[in-house]
C-alpha cells in the first residue's frame, strides 16, 4: 500500500545535533550490546541514515499494485480471470479475491456469470490498491467498476478510514455510522448508485445503518464494522430489494505495523507506517503536536528493550528498544515526519525492527518525552 508523503523526504545530514538533555541529566543509553553507557556512545549512534534514506528512495524497485475483485451482483458464484491467466477463480456473492499485478500497465478483468460475460480494462494511474467490483446499477443491469482506494494519509490521532459504496439496485441511500455507545460518528448522505464516499473516524467497533434517502426505515439491520488504527475499511451495500440486500467488506490494513506500548509520556499523536511488498518497504513516521523548538529524534533498533526514564526525572517515560541508530527529524510547525523506501534486497534481510520517537522541550527534570514504541516487519 502506497500513501502520500507526510512531508519532505529526508535530506542528507551533514552535522548531527547533540543530546542536550542527556548531557544535562547524565542520561546514558545502551549500545547494541548492553554494557557501559556513555554520551560518546550515544553520539556514535548518529549515522547519516537520513542521507541513506534519500538514496534508497531514489533507487528503482519492482512496482506492483494490489487488485481486489468483489462480487456484489449475482446470488450465484461468478468466474473471474485477470490478464488472461487462463486460471479463473470462483467468487461467491459478497466475497472477494485479491491479485498482485505489475505496474505500470493495463490490467484486463474478465468475469463470467450465468452464461454471459463482462470485461473491463484498468489502466492504473498510480502504484496503489484498486478494487474492481461487480454490482447492479440502479435498474439492476450488471456493472463492472474499478475504484482507486484513497491512500492519502489518515490524520494523526489514532483513527482509521471508513469508505461507503452504494452498489445496490436502489436509488439514493444514506449511511449513518454509530460508535459503540450508539452516538452518531458520521453521516454519508444522498449516495447514488456506484457512489464512493469516505470519512476518517476514531478507531474501534462501529455499526453502519442504511436507509433510503428521505426515509427512516432501515434497509438492513445495523451492520457491524471495526476500523483499526491506520486502517482503510470499505463497506459496500450490494444486491437488490427483489433478491436480497447485503454488504461486502474490504480491509486495506498494514499488519506490518504493531504499536507495542501506549501513547507514551509524550504526544499521543504518533504514526508509524510500513507498506511491504515484493519491491521492498515504504516507511513513514510522524509525531505531533510538539513544543516549539523541540529537537526530535527517531530511535531505531533491532531488539526490544525497556528502559524506564523515571529515575532520570521523566516519570512515565521509557525507551522501548535497544537503539542501533538515532535519526534527527525536523520539527516543522509542531509536526515531525520522515518517509523513505528500503529496497527489497535490504528489507528482506532485516525482519522485525523497533522504532520510537523522543523529543526535547519537556517540562520534566530530564527535559525529554517519548512516544509509543512500534514493531515493524520489513519482509
Task: Tell me the CB-side half-sphere exposure of residue 300, using CA atoms within 13 A.
Answer: 21
Give CA separation, 275 vs 3, 165, 192, in Å: 9, 25, 33
- Tell which residue, 113, 118, 103, has the closest CA to residue 67: 103
Q: Does residue 259 carry a pLDDT above 70?
A: no
Determine how many CB atoms are found less than 10 A away from the CB of residue 240.
Answer: 17
Q: 64-252 falls under which CATH superfamily?
A: Immunoglobulins (2.60.40.10)
Which DSSP helix (H) or strand (E) runs through 55? helix 49-58
| Distances in whole angstroms, Cα of residue 189 to Cα of each of 90, 173, 212, 285 | 34, 7, 10, 34
pLDDT of residue 157: 55
Residues 66-92 have pLDDT tens digits of: 899 999 998 889 999 999 999 999 999
Cα angle for residues 377, 68, 241 (degrees, 5° grid): 135
Structure pTM?
0.59
In 103-243, DSSP assigns E strands to: 107-113, 116-122, 129-136, 142-148, 159-169, 173-178, 184-191, 196-202, 204-212, 223-227, 232-240
DSSP 377: E
DSSP string, 242-269: TTEEEEEEEEE--TTEEE-S-S-SS-S-
Range with the poorest average pLDDT among 2-6, 106-110, 318-322: 2-6
pLDDT in tens, 225-235: 999 877 889 99
Residue 336 CA, chain-centre distance (Å), reads 18
Report pLDDT for 179.
Answer: 94
347 and 263 in contact (C-beta within 8 Å)? no
Tell me the CA distances in angstroms from 146 to 2, 124, 373, one per residue in order. Answer: 18, 10, 37
Domain boundary assignment for the chain: 20-60+278-377, 64-252
Amino acid at each position: 500500500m502506497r500513501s502520500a508523503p507526510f512531508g519532505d523526504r529526508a535530506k542528507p545530514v551533514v552535522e548531527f545535533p547533540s543530546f542536550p538533555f542527556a548531557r544535562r541529566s547524565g542520561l546514558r543509553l545502551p549500545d547494541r550490546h548492553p554494557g557501559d553507557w556513555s554520551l560518546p556512545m550515544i553520539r556514535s549512534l548518529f549515522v547519516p541514515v537520513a542521507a541513506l534514506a534519500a538514496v534508497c528512495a531514489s533507487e528503482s524497485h519492482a512496482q506492483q499494485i494490489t487488485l481486489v475483485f468483489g462480487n456484489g451482483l449475482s446470488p450465484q458464484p461468478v468466474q473471474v480471470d485477470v490478464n488472461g491467466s487462463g486460471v479463473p477463480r470462483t467468487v461467491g456473492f459478497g466475497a472477494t479475491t485479491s491479485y498482485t499485478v505489475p505496474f505500470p500497465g493495463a490490467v484486463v478483468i474478465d468475469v463470467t456469470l450465468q452464461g454471459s460475460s463482462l470485461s473491463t480494462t484498468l489502466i492504473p494511474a498510480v502504484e496503489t490498491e484498486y478494487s474492481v467490483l461487480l454490482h447492479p446499477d440502479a435498474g439492476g443491469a450488471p456493472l463492472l467498476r474499478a475504484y482507486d482506494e484513497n491512500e492519502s494519509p489518515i490524520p494523526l490521532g489514532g483513527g482509521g478510514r471508513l469508505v461507503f459504496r452504494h452498489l445496490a439496485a436502489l436509488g439514493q441511500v444514506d449511511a449513518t455510522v454509530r460508535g459503540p455507545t450508539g452516538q452518531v460518528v458520521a453521516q454519508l448522505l444522498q449516495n447514488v448508485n456506484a457512489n464512493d464516499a469516505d470519512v476518517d473516524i476514531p478507531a474501534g467497533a462501529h455499526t453502519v445503518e442504511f436507509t433510503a434517502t428521505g426515509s427512516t426505515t432501515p434497509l438492513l439491520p445495523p451492520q457491524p464494522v471495526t476500523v483499526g488504527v491506520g486502517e482503510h475499511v470499505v463497506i459496500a451495500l450490494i444486491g437488490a430489494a427483489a433478491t436480497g440486500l447485503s454488504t461486502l467488506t474490504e480491509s486495506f490494513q498494514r499488519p506490518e505495523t504493531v504499536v507495542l506500548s501506549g501513547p507514551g509520556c509524550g504526544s499521543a499523536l504518533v504514526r508509524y507506517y510500513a507498506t511491504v511488498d515484493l519491491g521492498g518497504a515504504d516507511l513513514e513516521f510522524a509525531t505531533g503536536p510538539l513544543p516549539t523548538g523541540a529537537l526530535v529524534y527517531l530511535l531505531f533498533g533491532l531488539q526490544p528493550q525497556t528502559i524506564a526514564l523515571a529515575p532520570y526525572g521523566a516519570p512515565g517515560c521509557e525507551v522501548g528498544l535497544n537503539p542501533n541508530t538515532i535519526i534527527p527529524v525536523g520539527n516543522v510547525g509542531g509536526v515531525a515526519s520522515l518517509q523513505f523506501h528500503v529496497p527489497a534486497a535490504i528489507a528482506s534481510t532485516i525482519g522485525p525492527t523497533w522504532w520510537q520517537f523522543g523529543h526535547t522541550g519537556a517540562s520534566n527534570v530530564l527535559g525529554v518525552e517519548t512516544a509509543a514504541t512500534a514493531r515493524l516487519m520489513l519482509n
